[in-house]
Amino acid sequence: MAKPMEEYKWHELNVGCVIEEVGNAMEYKTGDWRSSKPVWNDDKCVKCGLCWLFCPDAAVYQKDNGLYTTNLDYCKGCGICAHECKPGAITMVEEER
Amino acid sequence: MSTKRGVEVSIAAADAAKLARVEVIAAYPITPQTHIVEHLSEIVANGELDALYVNVESEHSAMSACCGASAAGARTFTSTSSQGMELMHEILFIASGLRLPIVMAAVNRALSAPLSIWGDHSDVMAARDTGWIMLFCENGQEVVDSTIMAFKIAEDRRVLLPVMVNLDGFSLSHVIEPIEFPSQEEVDKFLPPYNPLYTLHPDKPVTMGAYGMPELYTEAKYAQEMAIRQSKDAIIEIMDDFGKRFGRYYKPVETYNTDNTDTVFIALGSINENIKTAIDELKKEGKELGLISLRLFRPFPEEELAFALKGKKKVAVIERVMPGGAANGPLFNEFSALAQARGLKIQLENYILGLGGRDVNPEEFLEIFENMSSPKKETKKNEKNYIVIGVRA
């Protein structure tokens, strides 16, 4: 969005609230809902990519060295990656906020 | 060249949708709407209309399919009645909220229970605040003309809202009337192909129906409300344009014999023709009664009604729906609020009749007129603010 939501006046909204900007959901950082986050133990990781495959928010990504981590701007801490990780390389750690 | 033929009003409604060159029809059959969609499916199957007829498993799906088709840029039509309208109720709000110019022929019927397939206004009155523009028809000609106008209204860039064309079940939908059909060429000139503002297309992706956070929801609904309130200007303009082209002029509020009297009835739909008969009967006896007929119900034509009510002293609001525990019927409540807000000094009375297909003859209206002139105690204040005509007590 061109400006924060709370600054829009009614007549500035598109007809039917259509969003013309492609992929602008990225601007909405949903990661602040999170109460716990996944932490990778790289020694146990076998680079199978199941965490990346299962992440419902596409927040998990592969680093240049082939290991995995998550983008905390979007990770909601659902724990699916930790559940699916066969070698048990991912632990959910409570957020300290 | 227009052609005049005697035809069942349901068939005429389908033919009007054909004249409007609808591109997608998604509907589920329900009495008394059935003949409209049956005829449309025949027209499509025979190759007389280049449209997609989507067979769906319910009215909820019908309206959902209509939303999808309209969002993709197709001129979209559906029709339903009664329980069907209730089943599609949640999608009615989505159609208006997404500003999709769908046109629906609503063949008004009572709601169960007790089960009734017959006509009254229970269905549309339960859907009256869904954000749809609502037109009411008195006869078959109005059904044809309103259906054609409905697309032009709905698709106008100033409007972009769904339109419901209401016609009474059986007493209008199943009668055979002489109806004038404009030619395809004339309709094409009046109603050019739909040019959508936004469409779902892979070449230019957009999001429709996104989440409305508390920071935006109020503004979004306010914008929608402004759209339906302001649609009246476009509606009047389109009705005038239709009149100039086809010779049949329509207005949001019609009056009959209101000049010479301070007593008027207000009603919706086909019963207005019987009220006119009653008015003519009374005239023979030297009594004067007027009729204010709402052709446009949503947006509520406040200005036009206030103008029509000017100088009137006694008004009977006549409706075909039970209040459901409300102080009065829904139409009366809106008139009462209008009269109060505009400081109109009017004696307002509320009469309910014609429920679940009970015949409404001109005699009933004569009874109402007599009651207004000299109130009978037993029917007048029965611990209610309204009188149900013909109820056996």
Q: Among the CATH numbers 3.30.70.270, 3.30.70.20, 3.90.550.10, 3.40.50.300, which is that of A29-94?
A: 3.30.70.20
Query: What digits encode the pLDDT tens for the residues B40-78?
Result: 999 999 999 999 999 999 999 999 999 999 999 999 999
What backbone phi and psi angles, to 5 degrees, belong to B5? -150, 155
Nearest residue of A to residue B203, measured between CA atoms: A22
Radius of gyration of chain A (CA): 17
Regarding whether B264 and B221 lie in a shared domain, the answer is no
Regarding whether B283 and B177 lie in a shared domain, the answer is no
C-alpha B9/C-alpha B287 separation (Å) is 33
Of the candidates B135, B349, B169, B161, the one whose C-alpha atom is nearest the C-alpha of residue B252 is B135
Regarding whether B303 and B184 lie in a shared domain, the answer is no
Confidence class for position B385, pLDDT limits 50, 70, 90: confident
- Does the pLDDT at position B308 exceed 80? yes
Regarding whether B92 and B225 lie in a shared domain, the answer is yes
Query: What digits encode the pLDDT tens for the residues B93-143?
Result: 999 999 999 999 999 999 999 999 999 999 999 999 999 999 999 999 999
What one-letter code names the amino acid at B361? N
- Domain locations in chain A? 29-94
**Token pair 């060429």: residue:** B185
Count of domains for chain B: 2
The CB-based long-range contact list for B323-329 (8 Å cut-off, 24+ gap) reads B323/B352, B323/B386, B327/B385, B328/B385, B328/B386, B329/B125, B329/B386
| Domain annotation covers residue B25 | yes
**Token pair 């055979």: residue:** B176
Regarding whether B229 and B348 lie in a shared domain, the answer is no
Total beta-carbon pairs less than 8 A apart between chain A and chain B: 48
Regarding whether B265 and B165 lie in a shared domain, the answer is no
**A26 in reach of chain B (CB within 8 A):** no
A4, burial (CB in 10 Å: exposed 0-12, middle 13-18, buried 19+): exposed
- Name every chain A residue with its beta carbon within 8 A of the beta carbon of B210: 17, 19
Q: Which residues contact B344 (CB under 8 A, 6 or more apart)?
A: B306, B309, B312, B338
**A20 in reach of chain B (CB within 8 A):** yes
What one-letter code names the amino acid at B347? Q
Regarding whether B275 and B332 lie in a shared domain, the answer is yes
Encode chain A (97 residues) as per-residue pLDDT tens digits: 678 889 999 999 999 999 998 888 888 888 988 999 999 999 999 999 999 999 999 999 999 999 999 999 999 999 999 999 999 999 999 998 6
